[in-house]
Amino acid sequence: MRSSQESALLHRPLENGRREAVERSCALLRREGFVVSRVVASRSRRTVGSPDLLAASGPRVMRVFVLLDGEVDAAETRGRIRAASRQGETRVYVRRPLSWRVLSNLARWGVPGVSVVGW
C-alpha cells in the first residue's frame, strides 16, 4: 500500500512518453518488494547523478533511472548514471530491445556495477 505522499509524487504531471515508462518501472520494482518514490525535478533542473526514482527495501536504497529511447546515448545520461553509481546501488530501466545498447554504453563509458532492466 502506497503512502499518500508517495501517491501524490507519482501522479504529478510527467513529460510525454515518460509516464508509462515510469509506471512500468515502478511496478517492476514493487514486485521485487521495493517501496518506490519519484524524485521530483524538471528535466532542466536535474543535477548530475539525480535519479528518476528511489527504491528502498529495508536499509537498501537504490537510485533508478528510467530512460526513453532518445536518452540512451545522451552525454547527460552518461554523467547522471556515472555520478549516481559512485553514490551506491544504481539501476537503469529501458524498453526491452534497448537493454543491450545500454549495457554496451555502460561498458564503453567505464561505468561498472549498474544493473539494466528492460520493460
What is the pLDDT, as a whole number, of residue 10?
45
* The predicted structure's pLDDT at residue 8: 40
CATH number, domain containing residue 39: 3.40.1350
Number of domains observed in the structure of the chain: 1
So what's the pLDDT on residue 30? 98
Copy the grid coordinates of residue 118.
Answer: 528492460
Q: Is 5 a residue whose pLDDT tops 60?
A: no
The structure's pTM equals 0.82
Question: pLDDT tens digits for 53-70?
Answer: 999 999 999 999 999 999
Give bridge partners of residue 65 from the DSSP assignment.
Answer: 92
Q: Which of 22, 94, 3 is nearest to 106 (CA)?
A: 94
Q: Residue 36's pLDDT band (boundaries 50, 70, 90)?
A: very high
Cα 117 to the center of its chain, rounded Å: 10
Identify the band that residue 42 occupies on the pLDDT scale cut at 50, 70 and 90: low
Q: Measuring CA to CA, which residue among 73, 74, 69, 60 is closest to residue 97?
A: 69
Residue 91, strand partner residues: 64, 115
Lowest-confidence pick of 9-18, 35-44, 50-59, 85-94: 9-18
